[in-house]
Structure 1
Amino acid sequence: MITENQYFDGQVKSLGYQTTAGKSTVGVINPGEYEFGTAQKEIMNIIEGELAVLFSGKSDWETFQAGSFFEVPANDSFKVKATVQTAYLCQYR
């Protein structure tokens, strides 16, 4: 089954699906700044565009380009800033 997700008044949209390794989503983030919370470990793969990420407890933003990824532990939060539409694959593990 494919699920549709919308966040921040439709500024972030994704399609969710199940794999043998667990749940994943593919989506697009419109330009802006957003904060997400995690229930599971998340592996965010940047497909196209770029994201600046502020991890909880950190004061400096880190930039991730297309072809790179970052991980966020379960029960945590992180902020992202996009200056262009950015496509991603998020794997929940």
Structure 2
Amino acid sequence: MISVNEYFNATVKSLGYTSAKGKSTIGVMEEGDYEFGTSTHETMTVIEGELIAQLPNETEWKSYTAGDKFEVAANTKFKVKSVGQTSYLCQYK
């Protein structure tokens, strides 16, 4: 079953699904600043656009564009800035 998710007053939307690799979401963020919390390990891949992320325990911000990915441990928070609309794939472990 495909689940529909909306966050931050519908400025972030995603579709959740389960594949042979496990649970994933594919979504789009409007331009803006966001802080997410994790309950499981996440690997986020930028499909199109740009995310500037500040990962847990980091002071620097880093830019991620199409094809780039980053990982976030379970039970942490991370911040992203979406430059324009950005699409992403998030895989959960």
TM-score interval, normalised by the smaller of the two chains: over 0.9
TM-score, L = length of structure 2 = 0.97
Q: How does 1:49-60 map to 2 (within 5 A)?
A: 49-60=49-60
TM-score, L = length of structure 1 = 0.97
Deviation, structure 1 residue 59: 1.3
Deviations 1:53-93 (CA, angstroms, capped at 9, x unpaired): 01122211011011110000111110000121000000001
For 1:36 and 1:3, the matched residues in 2 are separated by: 19
Structure-2 residue corresponding to 1:31: 31
Gaps of 5+ in 1: none
Paired-residue identity, %: 53
- Secondary structure class of the residue paired with 1:84: strand
Question: What do you get for the CA RMSD once the two structures are aligned?
Answer: 0.7
Gaps of 5+ in 2: none
Aligned structure 1 segments of 4 or more residues deviating by more than 6 angstroms = none
Aligned residues: 93
